[in-house]
Amino acid sequence: MPQMSESTAEKLTPKQATALVRVLDLQARWENHRDDPAKSAGSTSDLQTRQKAFEAFRSAWREYAAEYRDAQLPEPTQNVPDRLAIWCRTLRAVLNRAETGTPALILTKVHRLADRIAVRVGRAPMERAMVMELADGIRELDVVIAWCETPVALLLPPAVDIPKEKAA
């Protein structure tokens, strides 16, 4: 499936962007459940919840793709800061165009990916703001984008100076 770019997202109609926010929310619900270590597929109820979430996403995606023949889905391609920023800009453009929607689960997915990057570069996870409305999601995406654009050297923990032994 082709990847959506920021410029493509900026051209969505409000109706299409609103429908896409729903698809992205359902996708995030499924992926957040799938990737949460506390929610294993070991129990029947967790597995059924995961399967229902996946089916809801697939159904919404099929409906969306049937209505919008050239449908694209914004997806992160790698877990590196610059790629996460590109994806977040695309999500921000979608949210900007949408008329309604609740992006809380989408932002949970964004933070999960940012947390993976933070662990890899030795940083604490990002702080999170409450996301209830589209405007909250846009503001939070701006925070994540700014974090991603911080030079890598600033993302690394401070170096510990080890005094050199004095020569005798």
Question: What are the start-end ranges of the H helices in the chain?
Answer: 6-10, 14-35, 44-67, 81-97, 104-121, 134-148, 152-155
Select from 46, 51, 35 the least CA-distant residue to 113.
35
What are the pLDDT tens digits along the chain (168 aa)?
568 999 999 999 999 999 999 999 999 999 988 887 676 667 788 888 889 999 999 999 999 999 998 888 888 877 788 889 999 999 999 999 999 999 999 999 999 999 989 888 877 788 899 999 999 999 999 999 999 888 654 544 444 444 555 444
Among 116, 76, 73, 122, smallest CA distance to 94 is for 73
DSSP secondary structure letter of residue 81 = H
Q: Cα dihedral sign for 100, 98, 65, 144? A: negative
Report DSSP state, residue 65: H
Distance separating alpha carbons of residues 24 and 11, to the nearest angstrom: 17
Q: What six digits make up the tokens of 144? A: 């994540």
Q: Extract the tokens encoding 52.
A: 């229902």
Q: Would the pTM count as exceeding 0.75?
A: yes
- Give the residue extent of every domain in the chain: 6-151
